[in-house]
């Protein structure tokens, strides 16, 4: 007589792994906290204010609809300030990125004490940040006391007000931003270049690569993600221009207007006219432009791809 054995199978229940805090989370936590407090929450507040009406300095939430945005778009100073910013970006962005990359590649091509000294020299202006940079720039641009007075006098410029003219501002702001930030970016690129495998460089030399070919065909492709990162932050910083035109506009005899940049116009909406709704709307517009620029850079450079540097 045969015995039938009935086998019973039980479904295997897989539990989702519990969330565990590790060192990476602890490292990111301060950034997340500050991003939330000084980035996300202010932008949410600006979004609410942009559709609110302000009466006597008090907000009537969600009472304005899109009228604050229409106020900004219909203001003639808005298109003028956006044109100024566009002219500045067309000069500052390529000049800054190309200039820093070239300097980093040149410094990395020759190692030694001179290279270390030059990296320090480039980095020193970055230690002077904020409005102090503009005060220093006014001194540098002054034909009477600045170090370039001989050159400026030869060009027929005898007063600082003659130097600080509207049509020269994009070039002046480009010089200020470049020398204030180039040192930090050169240090970043220099670190990236030092991480390039020596085997790759030795193989390129064996194949006959000179210094220029090594820089353009080997080193440059391998640091493209860092260049894309710089382009994003440089673009975002350049559209936030405020201190430079604000302070240069205070120079005696200066023709720089009080609404040269969109940020200046936003400041005027808030603190000259008490229209915080329009100021918030304009700030959100500038945020959108910065995000759009970042998305375009990410789209065309594949910054977050693991093989971006190789391809």
Asked if the model's pLDDT at residue 75 lies above 70, the reply is yes
First to last CA, the chain: 72
Q: So what's the pLDDT on residue 74?
A: 93
Q: Which residues of 79-93 are buried (b: 16+ CB within 10 A; e: fewer)?
A: eebbebbeebbeebb
Q: So what's the pLDDT on residue 78?
A: 94
In whole angstroms, what is the distance from residue 291 CA to residue 35 CA?
15
Q: So what's the pLDDT on residue 13?
A: 57
pTM for the model: 0.82
For residues 151-180, give the mean pLDDT: 86
Q: So what's the pLDDT on residue 7?
A: 52
For residues 255-267, give the mean pLDDT: 90
Which distant-in-sequence residues (6+ apart) come within 8 Å of 12 by Cβ?
Answer: none
Query: Domains in the chain, start-ordered, CATH in brackets?
Result: 65-125+170-301 (1.10.3720.10)
At 3, the pLDDT band (50, 70, 90 cuts) reads low
**What are the tens digits of pLDDT across the range 12-33?**
656 656 667 788 888 899 999 9
Asked if the model's pLDDT at residue 309 lies above 80, the reply is no
Average pLDDT across the chain, whole number: 84
Asked if the model's pLDDT at residue 34 lies above 60, the reply is yes
Q: So what's the pLDDT on residue 310?
A: 44
How far, CA to CA in Å, does 265 sit from each of 43, 73, 165, 215, 234? Answer: 18, 12, 19, 43, 21
Q: So what's the pLDDT on residue 249?
A: 83
Q: So what's the pLDDT on residue 11?
A: 59
Asked if the model's pLDDT at residue 212 lies above 90, the reply is no
Pick the range with the lowest mean pLDDT from 6-10, 125-129, 200-204, 236-240.
6-10
At 252, the pLDDT band (50, 70, 90 cuts) reads confident
92 vs 249 pLDDT, higher one: 92
**What are the tens digits of pLDDT across the range 93-141?**
999 999 999 999 988 887 778 887 888 888 777 777 677 888 888 888 8
The DSSP symbol for 214 reads I
How far, CA to CA in Å, does 157 sit from each of 152, 177, 213? Answer: 5, 22, 42
Q: So what's the pLDDT on residue 283?
A: 93
């Amino acid at each position: 007589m045969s015995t039938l054995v009935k086998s019973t199978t039980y479904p295997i229940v897989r539990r989702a792994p519990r969330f565990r805090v590790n060192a990476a989370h602890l490292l990111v936590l301060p950034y997340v906290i500050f991003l939330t407090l000084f980035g996300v929450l202010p932008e949410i507040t600006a979004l609410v204010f942009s559709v609110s009406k302000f009466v006597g300095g008090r907000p009537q939430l969600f009472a304005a609809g899109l009228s604050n945005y229409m106020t900004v778009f219909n203001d003639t100073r808005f298109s003028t300030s956006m044109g100024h910013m566009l002219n500045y970006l067309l000069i500052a962005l390529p000049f800054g990125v190309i200039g820093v990359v070239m300097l980093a590649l040149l410094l990395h091509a020759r190692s030694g004490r001179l290279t270390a000294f030059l990296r320090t020299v480039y980095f020193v202006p970055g230690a002077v940040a904020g409005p102090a940079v503009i005060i220093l720039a006014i001194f540098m641009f002054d034909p009477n006391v600045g170090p370039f007075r001989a050159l400026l006098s030869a060009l027929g410029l005898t007063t600082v007000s003659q130097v600080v003219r509207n049509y020269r501002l994009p070039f002046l702001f480009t010089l200020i931003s470049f020398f204030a930030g180039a040192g930090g970016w050169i240090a970043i690129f220099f670190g990236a270049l030092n991480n390039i495998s020596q085997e790759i460089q030795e193989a390129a030399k064996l194949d006959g690569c000179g210094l220029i070919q090594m820089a353009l065909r080997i080193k440059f492709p391998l640091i493209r993600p860092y260049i894309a990162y710089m382009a994003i932050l440089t673009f975002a910083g350049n559209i936030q221009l405020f201190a430079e035109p604000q302070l240069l506009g205070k120079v005696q005899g200066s023709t720089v207007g009080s609404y040269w940049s969109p940020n200046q116009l936003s400041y005027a909406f808030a603190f000259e006219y008490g229209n915080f709704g329009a100021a918030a709307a304009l700030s959100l517009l500038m945020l959108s432009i910065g995000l759009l620029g970042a998305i375009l850079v990410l789209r065309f450079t594949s910054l977050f791809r693991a093989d971006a540097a190789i391809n």
